[in-house]
Homo-oligomer: A and B are copies of this chain.
Amino acid sequence: MTTLGIVKRNIIRADAVAVEKLGRFGVATIHEALGRVGLMKPYMRPVYRGARICGTAVTVLLQPGDNWMMHVAAEQLQPGDVAVAACTTENEDGFFGDLLATSFQARGARGLIIDGGVRDVDELERMGFPVFSKAIHAKGTIKATLGSVNVPVVCAGALVNPGDVVVADVDGVVVVPAALAQTVADAAEKRESFEGEKRAKLASGVLGLDMYKMREPLAAAGLKYID
């Protein structure tokens, strides 16, 4: 009757080729290509400058002040995965530090997205292990209560299923359902190809008002120019 105390071993990961392709685009572009859904809340920030992640989600459901499930999750991580950790309540303790990062990196994981706190941030940067979190907090945790691994979680307001693609950069974190990875990657590519052309026009001084033909709808909506 609950989703606590469960580790799902076999998950269906998004297609690897599609994941690599998604990794070439920014979060803002992917979010648009996905139909403007799938973003985590903007309080999720990179713990060091330049952090960037793209991979398939292994989800973790944590209890407050307890990181036991992080160790359980390590075993489920495969090369190309990203750990995505939610908590059953709001908590900003430091659930993750350099030792866990060493273990995750040894498993081939590409980073961590966590709706909580992390620590050892300087060491994480030296290791090149990118993390996006709600907080940085030296407060350690215990290992006493069960959560789960690879159940659906709500992380920073977004639903994440195991195997979904997670992309994170300075603009935020977006979740692409595994089944849509290739379609969204293609849509992102198409979208970006249009942007170069638009950028050139705008740089030359053409106004968006004219390029997007906005003058008529603005007038229809009642916009008035006064002097």
Given known A-B contacts A89-B91, A145-B144, A183-B1, A171 and B137 have beta carbons under 8 A apart: yes
Shortest distance between the CB of A136 and any CB in chain B (Å)? 6
Roughly how many angstroms separate A202 CA and B69 CA in the complex, as a whole number? 16
Roughly how many angstroms separate A31 CA and B119 CA in the complex, as a whole number? 11
Q: Are A88 and B203 in contact (CB under 8 A)?
A: no
Q: Is A113 an interface residue (CB 8 A)?
A: no
Q: Are A7 and B223 in contact (CB under 8 A)?
A: yes
Given known A-B contacts A171-B120, A209-B74, A5 and B94 have beta carbons under 8 A apart: no
Closest 5 CB pairs of A and B: A2-B35, A64-B65, A71-B208, A138-B171, A42-B137
Seen from chain A, the residues whose Cβ lies within 8 Å of a Cβ on chain B are: 1-10, 26-28, 31-37, 39, 41-42, 45, 49, 63-66, 68, 71-72, 74-75, 88-94, 97-100, 102-103, 105-107, 117, 119-122, 135-140, 142-146, 152, 154, 157-159, 169-172, 174, 180, 183-184, 187, 195, 198-199, 202-205, 207-209, 212, 214, 218, 221-227
